Structure formats: C-alpha cells, structure tokens
A and B are shown apart, each in its own frame.
Chain A
Amino acid sequence: MTKGDKFLILFIVMLSFLSFAYINRYALSDQERYVSVQVNGQEVKKILYDDQLLGHTIPVESEFGYSLIEIGDMQVRLAEADCPDQICVHQGYVSRIGETIVCLPNKLVIEVKGESGEDYIDIMNY
C-alpha cells in the first residue's frame, strides 16, 4: 500500500461524499420545481421560478382574504397577509418539494411541487 493508494482512497471517498451531497442538494430537488397557489382547494396560480421573478411580489386576493407572495431565490414566502394570527407570514421561506405554507383563515395553501415527480426511480435491477 503506497502513498498514492491512500491518496486515491481518500480522493474517492471525498468525491463520493461530495457528489452525494451535491445530488441531494441540487440535482434531485432542482427538477422543475414550481409553486402552486391554492385557494379553498382550487389551484389559482402556478408560479415557475425565473430569474426575472426574483424579489417580485404577487398578490393573491379572494373572498377569504388578501395575501402577498414573495418569490426568492428558488424559494417562496408569504410577505403579507391580513389574517389575524400571521402564522403563515412567520413561517418564512420554503423551498423543498412538498413543503407548504398554509393560511387557514384565508383558506390559502402554497405548495412547492415537483414537475416530473412521477417517473422517479423506485428500484433498479441489473
């Protein structure tokens, strides 16, 4: 076992851990995410992330109340809402697929969804 071998082992361990972390962070969860805005169970808006949308706010008005959605860097939050408890506003940003912001008084649900979540591999066999 030479020094080169040890270096190679260390290199491969680091490479696999780093790429694993990278895949977990970006590649798998980055796929075509969009924000689904639902009022009273009906999807009223579908927001796709875009660089031009960065920092923009989108108002959502319905008969149940008024809320203001703010788009961040691949994340979304409720900037304002006229509900009494403000739980939805205090929740802050959500970014990962499946995360939701719920505002019960306004009957508003903001959900981060994955576009192509259906063909995710369950199992593979060689």
Chain B
Amino acid sequence: MRKTNKMIFISLLVSVGLALSVIESAIPLPIAMPGARLGLSNMVVLVTLVVFGFKDGIKVGMLKSTVLMLVTGSVSSFIYSISGAILSCILMHIAYKYFSKVFSLIGVSIIGAAAHNFAQVSVAVMMLSNTRIYSYLPFLLLISLFSGYFVGLSSTYIVENLKKNFRVLFSRQETI
C-alpha cells in the first residue's frame, strides 16, 4: 500500500471516529451517570491498532480527541479524552501485541475501556485536587465492561470484513 493510500485511510478512520463520537452523544444511556459514555469511537482506534499498528493507532486517537474539541468546543473534556485515548491506546497495544493468545479483541477492548476510564478519573483527581473522586472509579469500571465488550465484538466483525474485502491493507510487505 502506498503512503498516500495509507494517509487517506487513516484520515477516513479519524473522521469515522469523529462521527461516531458525535452520534453517540445523541444516544441516551439507561443509567444517568456523568462521565459514562458508550465509547463507540474506541472501535476506530482498536481497528487502527489491529490494521496499521501502534503508531497510527495513537495518531488516530489523539487526532480524534483534538478535532472533537474543535467540533464541540469543550476544552475541559478534551483534556479528559486525550489522556484516556493515550493510555488506552498504549495498554491496548501491549495487550494486543504480547497477549493476543490470552485475549481476543473483546478482552483488548475491555482493557482499553478500563484504561480510558482510569486515565479520565486520574486527570479529574489532578484537576480538582481531590483524591475522593477515585471512589467513582468502580462504577465507571463496571460500565466500561459492557461498553468494552460490545465495542470489542463489533471491531471483531469489522476486522474480519476488512480482511475479506480490503486485502491490500494487510499485505505489509508492500508498505513503504
């Protein structure tokens, strides 16, 4: 795959993630909890990690949060989201690369969701300088289980489909 192709594909992924982030804010959750989100855009980061590797995965995650800040205009949520994106991307990469025999994509995605929540709560602790916010983490972890499970499940299907229909993505030898 040529360099331009790859660039276009990655920017497409970023825009898909952006659209998912905007759409998911319109989907009501059964439980009203601040900070709990579906995390649909995590799907995009996970797929990028699987298809392109760590470097591009973290690029997509950071670009997504940056552009989302420009779209929604909330800087405080940008700080939460980018810290979550970086930590979850690193942990998902480790889980996918070194423990792919132990975890399927579902497990990797759950790890990512949990790491995302942990980073967010940690940043909130730092910003509000109140360690009691950590008491909120168990609830978020429980919710991240559900969202992580479904995100992992759907990215399994996505990766399967990509392998079938976009074989050019997986032929690494031709990459520059």
Contact = CB atoms under 8 A, between A and B. Distances in A.
Contact of B110 (A9, A16, A27, A123): A9
Interface in A1-36: 1-5, 8-9, 12-13, 15-17, 19-20, 23, 27-28
A12 B120 contact: no
A28 B114 contact: no
Chain B interface helix/strand/loop/mixed: helix
A122 B142 CA distance: 21
Interface string B125-160: 000001011111111011011000100000000000
Interface residues of A, number: 24
Interface stretch (B53-61, B96-104, B164-172): B96-104
B103 A126 contact: no
A56 to B, nearest CB: 31
Contacts, number: 71
B145 A126 contact: no
Interface string B22-34: 0000000000001
A1 B104 contact: yes
Nearest to B144: A12
Contact of B107 (A2, A119, A125): A2
9 contacts: A4-B107, A5-B110, A8-B103, A12-B145, A17-B138, A20-B139, A28-B135, A126-B76, A126-B124
Which of B111, B133, B134, B142 has most chain A Cβ within 10 Å?
B142
Contact of B142 (A2, A13, A27, A28): A13
Nearest to A120: B132
B33 to A, nearest CB: 10
Given A121-B133, A126-B120, A2 B103 contact: yes
Contact of A8 (B110, B133, B136, B137): B110
